Structure 1
Amino acid sequence: MTEPGRILAVIPARAGSKRLPRKNTASLGGQPMVSWSIRAALDAGLAGRILVTSDDPEVLAIAETWEGVRSLQRPAELATDQATTADVLRHAVTEETKAGRAPDTLVLLQPTSPLRIGEDIANALNQFCQGGGESVVSVSPVEHPLAWCGKVDANGALLGIDLQSAQRSQDYEPDYRLNGAVYVVDVAGFVASGSLFTDRILASIMPRERSVDVDEALDLTICQSLMQER
């Protein structure tokens, strides 16, 4: 595969979370949730740096317990609900560049995907290299065909579904969704556009059982159950 150049894997884990307070340090499988993304990054064998960026002293302390992982204190303005992931990544790239470690390839690993494993990260990076530097996102199959999805209006009417179709779910081509687990992009392109997405986006497919995104307490319970089945 084509070498991706200097890699920077960023795990952004701020303290605040409205629906599940302090979710990044919530206990999952006997470890803080953010630790599972750190472990996956290490298991992926990335030839680069792993950086945890946070405003939370507890998260930063957790990162420092892992050999080969560095922490970055983010400024207060990047720890608000208004701060975007792109803002946080731009800050990380800028700080690394100032320190003489300018990266070529950026890998985003959100800590809310604790079931992701090193192989998933390596697969996405391999897809990035084979694609000649296009952006790569991890995806997973959706549970049902999108043809079965619609909207419900203010009067309770179901709209947008072809109810006359008698096709079975297996008769449809598979549909995929972003699962938020892995993003890979060329740093120069990201800095220029401020986006993780290029005009052409490649997909790295992950199984549904490793694609749970933790947004509320139920998601954490599902992850705990799936971990016990491994």
Structure 2
Amino acid sequence: MNIAIIPARGGSKRIPRKNIKDFCGKPMLAYPIQAALQSGVIDKVVVSTDDAEIAEVALEYGAEVPFLRQSQLADDYTGTTEVIRDAISQLQSLGWPLEHCACLYATAPLLDAGLIGELLHRLVATKADFVFTAARFAFPIQRALVLTETGGVAPFDPASISKRSQDLIPTFHDAGQLYWAKASTWLDLQKSVFSANSQLYELPSHRVQDIDTPDDWRRAEYLYRMLQQEQS
């Protein structure tokens, strides 16, 4: 069985209730649920939440909530991998025969359903530990600047500040959308998403937006509407 697990706790602070806040006409959580269901490669979509209202929204849009997440796994310090491991263990204890598990972020309205299957196929073909979405930094991070204690400016990497952009290696950041691995890989404490045995799938910048602030939210809505217009 191939499943998608969507972590969606109730305690968001910078954007209160952001996982079920209205985003272009639907709760934010509805978008990754629907993308997973439309992908053609997901047997079940599971939402891991500690919140009864989020659970109701998840069920309304076709996901399953076989358990409620324990409060100690829903604080500001618990990592995503720990939540996925807990969900897999819970589902296995219920007798679910899990093979491949995708982690989808609740705040991923720009996720394309076809991409879910594409990354699963890459995981199987390459035998990587993890395959995940990423995006290229728009500006070379080697030429970043930092503020000094006296209010001045200094290069983050003095050896690279004078180099041409084309002479610096490309750098990437996690896109915060989609991560595939075998269930057994998620449970292996020696395995890490960001390692030499993982592969990234590069997304164009217009399909990536972290959503932590109201400004992030507005930009994500703009990108979503733009993509919808392109597809119509």
After TM superposition, the score normalised by the length of structure 1 is: 0.87
Moved more, 80-89 or 96-105: 80-89
Among candidates 64, 74, 78, match of residue 79 of structure 1: 74
Kindly provide the CA deviation profile for residues 68-126 of structure 1, in whole angstroms up to 9, marking residues without a partner as x.
x2113212222222333223212211221122113122211011222111122222212
> Helix, strand or coil for the counterpart of 1:82?
coil
Q: Relative to structure 1, is the Cα distance of residues 181 and 21 closer, same or farther in structure 2, using a 3 angstrom cutoff? A: same
Q: Structure 2 CA distance, aligned partners of 1:153 and 1:46?
A: 50
Equivalent residues, number: 222
Segments of 5+ residues of structure 2 without an aligned counterpart are 228-232
Aligned letter for 2:188? Answer: A
Instruction: Quote the residue 1:190 is aligned against.
Output: 186
Runs of 4+ in 1 over 6 A off after TM superposition: none
**RMSD value, Cα:** 2.0
Instruction: Quote the residue 2:162 is aligned against.
Output: 164
Segments of 5+ residues of structure 1 without an aligned counterpart are 1-5
Aligned letter for 2:149? Answer: A
Instruction: Quote the residue 1:205 is aligned against.
Output: 202
Moved more, 49-58 or 142-151: 142-151
Aligned letter for 1:154? Answer: E
Instruction: Quote the residue 2:13 is aligned against.
Output: 18
> Helix, strand or coil for the counterpart of 1:188?
helix
Aligned letter for 2:182? Answer: D
Kindly provide the CA deviation profile for residues 130-161 of structure 1, in whole angstroms up to 9, marking residues without a partner as x.
11142112111211122322433222222225
Identity of aligned residues (%): 25
> Helix, strand or coil for the counterpart of 2:220?
helix
Q: Structure 2 CA distance, aligned partners of 1:141 and 1:98?
A: 39
1:58-207 matches, within 5 Å, as 58-67=53-62, 69-71=63-65, 72-155=67-150, 156-159=152-155, 160-161=157-158, 162-165=160-163, 167=164, 169=165, 173-193=169-189, 195-197=191-193, 199-207=196-204
CA contact 1:24–1:33 (8 Å) conserved in 2? yes
Instruction: Quote the residue 2:31 is aligned against.
Output: 36
After TM superposition, the score normalised by the length of structure 2 is: 0.87
Q: Structure 2 CA distance, aligned partners of 1:163 and 1:175?
A: 15
Q: Relative to structure 1, is the Cα distance of residues 154 and 184 closer, same or farther in structure 2, using a 3 angstrom cutoff? A: same
Aligned letter for 2:197? Answer: R
Among candidates 220, 223, 226, match of residue 223 of structure 1: 220
